Structure 1
Amino acid sequence: MGRIFISAAHGGKENGLLDPGAMVAGTTEAQEMILLRDLVVSELRTKGVEVLSVPDDLSFRQSLDWINVRGRANDVAIELHADSANNPSVRGATSFYIADNDTRKKHANLLLAALTKRLPKLPSQGAKPDSTAGLGSLAFCRLVKTPSLVLQVGFLTNPDDRFILQNQRREMAAAIADGLIAWLDDVSGGVNVSYAPISIEINGQNYGEQGIIVSGNAYIPIDLVDRLGFDLASDENVRRVSYRNVVFVRAIELKPFDVSVGWEAKTRTVILRTISKLCTGQKDRIMGHGNASEVQLMMFLKSRNPKALEEFSMIARHYRNEGEIEGVNYDLAFCQMCWETNFLRFGDLIVPAQNNFASIGAISGPEGATFPNVRTGVRAHIQQLKAYATTQPLVNEVVSPRFRFITRGVAPLFGQLSGRWNADLSYGTKVLNLVTLLYEDSGLIAKA
């Protein structure tokens, strides 16, 4: 497998004096290229690619010799430059290759494309033969024994190019690393890049697919991002990598969408919480998905009635399962159960043996409906909510005795059940306040 040699232009001694390269706006080409080179080296090593960094105190000729002594078959070499011009409006990146070498030209275009794709605001001046350079040829392209290119990443004298170099340096380094890997892959027939796997937890649930660690950052599969309802596939500013035929994006990119991103070092798990889906407008919608885990539902109930789970140990699981089957937000249903039963303490009219967790009325008799077991009672509750929220058909056979009497779809929002499910016009607000408490207790949203 080949290796990559990287040299930062200038910085060494030429004729006994340090060579800073171009000096612009309080910085030097040597300083900027060394900073960039170090980040590229870090990116490559994180991806398992063997890279050799040319020492900064060598003269240009010594740098060439340093590479040539160590170079072997399937290695490649690159030197990073920044250009300068008398006209500050001149800008853009260029990749130079040895003239009349179509293979090297292909690789120069490959490297340049990787850079400008990740940094679309950096213009490309195209891949050019070294014969078009100011000196008529470039020694790095001609005198290095391994395949070599010179990448000129922009003009220090142009404010826009300089801003990108100094403020998007890590993005630039990642783009160059991607281009170098593609080049090395073409030269040596494959690069064995390996990333450490990590687990993913979303809203308290373990996600079936793993993520990866890239340069110390957690990356998650793009398919998970799609499931959360965010479209990042065409966002050019999002960091992404392709690994084992799966596209991954950096988890932190979800923060602008109000997704909380955390890390559990002991279990190597990235923890995602979809805060945006917990806003009032979403948590009020009956048809949807719950966000709390089974354990979080149980702990919420137990913290308010320590004896609740002694008789109803499976109730949280039943609410999650039945809610998912019918597409009903089980967080809402569970909190409504807590309100209606006073956290399973019940009252005078309905007793625990009835398995009636939402004060569902009976066809006859004042005491309310009775169900043969806990799961059937939960199913009736879920069906009753679905009847109010939508005209969609039920998945399971009807067990709610009042299902057929409800005008379907009249109350898609839980607040609209005030005056319908309960005569109290603030009924919806009271139950939704419990949902907020559930999310606060579970750490899904910050406490007010």
Structure 2
Amino acid sequence: MGRIFISAAHGGREGGRIDPGTVAGGTTEAREMILLRDLIMGELRSRNWEILSVPDDLSAQGTINWINTRSRPRDVALEIQNDAASNPSVRGATVYYIANNSDRRKNAETLLLALLRKIPQLPNRGVKPDTNSGFGSLVFCRQIAIASLQIQVGFLTSPDDRSLLQNRRRDFAVGIADGLVSWIRVIDPGTTPTEPNYPIINININGTNSSDKGILINGNAYIPINLVNSLNIDLSKAPNIRQVTYKQIVYIKAVDLQEFNISVGWDGATRTVKLRSNVASGQIDKIIFNGRTTKEQLESFLRDNNRNALAQFPDIAQLYLEEARKEGVNHDISFSQMCLETDYLRFSGDIKAEQNNFASLGTIGGGSESAIFDSARIGVRAHIQHLKAYASLEALQQEVVDPRFRFVTRGVAPLVADLSGRWSADLDYGSKILAILKRLYESI
């Protein structure tokens, strides 16, 4: 019978200190998740399921190592978390799964719906591939050897979600337990093969079909390690990429290649994993550079992430193409930053759509007041000008409309990562933009 591993996020030692996770409302994420985890364990054990709890003092990497050294093929692993947002009205539950894995997506839907059946007052934020997370990938979804998911059971920063969790914690536990049982019965329906017999899949690299074949393991595509050389990847710089030996051939998980700027897609009709080299390293993150997407590709990406995105701003993609081209700014980067700042034009933060402020630009007086622009074009132009101020010493080609242009130290941020701690106090700000940028390239 398959077993269940469960991890309460945070509480372990990271960077030499105990990581409490989000702190809000007089409590911490670590405390709330440990309490919930203990109730889930009790519920599952009362149903005679074998459940293993990850020690609370382990780091994130220690958690992964602890599970991987104990797990068996028919086991599953779940990490429970709270989310956080600057806007206390943002709330709801989400389950993340490893991208391009339709089986895991179905497992995530099963888990989330089971929770919402017990807590219907909790908004449903849907299931999402880990590429939709702020960091572009989640190590818990990618580096765990067995089937794994990560659930965010609400926003600790939301008084409503926090109250639900603290007052109905047992209902949360029962809902998650129901989902885990349904999930593991899919993974282990009661029969265990004596030896694996993985399905064969096709491989396409940069538009050319390969004579080599890959395999599917737990719904994830794996490719022969010898193909890595054709993608100019040095695996010695990536010790965490998992290698699997099957019928005397070494395979690696295709999705792990994304950290090398490789797009990974899947064609279900032909059972083909599609790999494509992105812009050369050192260029993908240059702010002053040429973008590579078309208006139609930008619009399609935006609709995929928010089907109503173009209703109010139907020309947004064309505006970014035109305004970025005039100033020599990479429109792919500026568009990705807009997606981050506006939540794909949902404007779920403090800035409203009618402000035409797509990059959280402040007013000339500074402080917390956000700028307002007369039109979407002027708002996009101000965004592009502000990016150019950070990335270049060159003069603007158009009249200045960015209210903060003259306050920027010119040329201090030529790369996206340099925006962290400058454009935003968030030290992961650049990584979040790059994560969206890589997803954009994978969509074309």
TM-score range with shorter-chain normalisation?
0.3 to 0.5
Q: Taking structure 1 as the reference length, what is the TM-score of the superposition? A: 0.42
Q: Which has more radius of gyration?
A: 1
Higher relative contact order (CA 8 A, sep 6+): 2
